[in-house]
Amino acid sequence: MSQLDNDIKEYAEEAWNRHDIRAGFKLLVELGGAATLGIFAYTVLTSWVPGLNALGIPIAAGTVQALLKLAAEHYASLPEDERAAVRKVVRFLNRAS
């Protein structure tokens, strides 16, 4: 089990809001670089995940897995405040998908 999986369980009651989710997405885009920016550009031309669109974050259903993988790959090397942002967006993605 990864550090991210462990922390998601440990912080299961951690509160979040739409600003936290946007911050988490922004961080994932920064971590993923050009490839992640391409994913977000692609979503403009594809279908949307309904829960994300309500937050003003359009994303194609097929990109959720790529974002979760990216989060897991980088999570352990992040400082605690960025880990919190990633945890929140991963929990949100898991609920939305």
Distance in angstroms (rounded) separating the CA atoms of residues 21 and 32: 16
**Model pLDDT, residue 31:** 81
> In sequence order, which residues have a C-beta less than 8 Å from that of residue 46 and are 6 or more positions away?
60, 62
Domain residue ranges in the chain: 3-96
What number of other Cβ atoms are within 10 A of residue 41's Cβ?
9
**Model pLDDT, residue 65:** 77
Distance in angstroms (rounded) separating the CA atoms of residues 16 and 88: 6
The alpha carbon of residue 18 and the mean position of all alpha carbons in its chain are separated, in whole angstroms, by 12
**Model pLDDT, residue 1:** 62
Per-residue pLDDT of the chain (97 residues; tens, 9 = 90+): 689 999 999 999 999 988 888 888 888 878 877 666 566 555 544 444 555 655 666 666 667 777 788 888 889 999 999 999 999 988 988 876 6
